[in-house]
Amino acid sequence: MSPSSRTPGPRTAMTVLGSAPLDVLDAYRTCEFATLGKDGTPLAWPTAVARRDDGTLLLTTSLAFAQKALNVRRDGRVGLLFSDPTGSGLDFAPQVFVGGRAQCPDTVMAGPRGAEEYWRRLFERQPHSRAYLTRPMRPVMSWYYLRLLITVEPEVVVVRPPLAELPDLPVTAAPAGTEALPGAAQLAGLPTAVLAARDASGAPVLARTRPRPTAAGYLVEVPEDCPVEPGPASLLVHRHDELLDHMYNALVRGELRRTAAGWVVVPSSVVEPMGSGRASDALRVLRRTWRSTDRYLARRGLRRPKVQWDRFRALAEPGKESAPAGRGARPAAKGAPHH
C-alpha cells in the first residue's frame, strides 16, 4: 500500500502494524517523527516509541518541547520512520515507515502511569538518564519528567531495504558557493538525512536520503514508495551512540521542488533545539527548557505538578519498586525514548 493511502478502514491498528517486522521495529532505539507545522511544513524530530499490544504506538514529549503535541492537536496526520539502527544490535535492519493519525490529550503527566513500558525502556536503553533521578539532579531536571502522551494509530506501513544495500553514489566535490547554503555545515557532518515532505493528500511522508549540495539547493533521492509532492519540506540530521547518549539533531527547513536533475530541497533556515553540541550550550538549553515549561503551564493556568520521583525510580531500579501493585511494579523490560 502506498503511504498516500491513509483513509481509515475497518482494519485495526494491530492489523496494519502487523505487516511490519515487529521484532525489528521494537529493536530500533529511535525513530524520526514528523508532524505538520502551522504553515503545513512537515517537521521531523528524533524520538523513541513504545509499541502497545493493540498495535498503537506511544510517544511522549516534555512540556519544554511541546510543539509536536500542539501540531498533533491541530492536525493529527503524522509519519514515523525507523531508519537509524544505532544501538539496536541489527547490522542490516530494514527501514520501516508508518503513516497514521495521532492524538495528544492536554493532560500533563508527572509520573509514569500509562507509559510504564516506555519509561522502563528508557532507563534500560539510556542508562545515563537514571542519573536525572538522583536528589542533586532533581531541581535541575524536573522539567524532563513533565510529559504529554502521544498515541499514534497506524494507517499504512511501508518496509524499505537497509540504506546500506542501496547503490553507492559517486563521490563528488561540493560545487563552489554551496557552503553558504543554510544547513551546509549540519548536513555535511553526517552521511545521510531524513527528508520530511508531503504526499498528494498533504500528509507527512519520510525517507532517509543522501543530500548532495548544488547551486539550487540539496539534491535528494526519493524512493518510489514515497510519493512526495512539491511544497514545504525539511531535512533532519541526528545522531546518538549505542546508549542513546551524545545526541545531536538539527532541522533544515525549506521547500521541495522538482527539477530537471531530480528533487531538490531549497533551504531557508536551520533549527538546532539542543544547540550545536558545544559545552557552552548546556546552560542556555536548560534555561530555555525551564522557560518553555513554565510558559506551557502558565498559558493553561496550571501550577507545576510535583514529579512522582518514587514511581520513576521504581521503574529505573528493578527490585526497589515502591509503587502499588498494578502500577508498574514489574521487572524491567526491553524498549526506548528521548525528549
Beta-strand (E) ranges in the chain?
31-36, 42-47, 50-51, 57-62, 77-82, 95-103, 147-160, 193-198, 204-209, 212-213, 218-220, 229-239, 248-259, 262-271
Query: What pLDDT is recorded for position 256?
Result: 98
Per DSSP, the three-state class of 300 is coil
String of DSSP letters for 45-95: EEE--EE-TTS-EEEEEEGGGTHHHHHHHH--EEEEEE---TTSS-SSPPE
Query: What pLDDT is recorded for position 331?
Result: 29
Query: What pLDDT is recorded for position 313?
Result: 97
All three cell numbers of 210, joined, read: 543522501
Predicted confidence pLDDT, tens digits, the chain (339 residues): 344 445 555 578 989 999 999 999 999 999 999 999 999 999 999 999 999 999 999 999 999 999 999 999 999 999 999 999 999 999 889 999 999 999 999 999 999 999 999 999 999 999 999 999 999 999 999 999 999 999 999 999 999 999 766 555 555 556 766 889 999 999 998 999 999 999 999 999 999 999 999 999 999 999 999 999 999 999 999 999 999 999 999 999 999 999 999 999 999 999 999 877 676 788 888 999 999 999 999 999 999 999 999 999 999 997 654 433 333 333 233 333 355
Q: Is 247 exposed, middle or buried (0-12, 13-18, 19+ CB in 10 A)?
A: middle
Could you tell me how many helices (H) and strands (E) the chain has, helices first? 8, 14
Rounded Cα–Cα distance for residues 273 and 16 (Å): 33
All three cell numbers of 172, joined, read: 563528488
Query: What pLDDT is recorded for position 334?
Result: 32
Query: What pLDDT is recorded for position 319?
Result: 63
All three cell numbers of 293, joined, read: 515549561
All three cell numbers of 133, joined, read: 533521578
Following CA atoms 208, 210, 212, 213 in sequence, which dihedral angle do they give, to the nearest 10 degrees? 50
Q: What is the H or E stretch that residue 119 is in?
A: helix 116-125
All three cell numbers of 27, joined, read: 529493536
Query: What pLDDT is recorded for position 330?
Result: 31
pTM: 0.89
Following CA atoms 255, 256, 259, 261 in sequence, which dihedral angle do they give, to the nearest 10 degrees? 120
Assign 3-state DSSP to the chain and report helix, strand, coil percentages, each to 5. 25, 30, 45
Q: In the chain, how long is the greatest CA-to-CA distance?
A: 64
- Eight-class DSSP state of 122: H
Rounded Cα–Cα distance for residues 156 and 227 (Å): 13
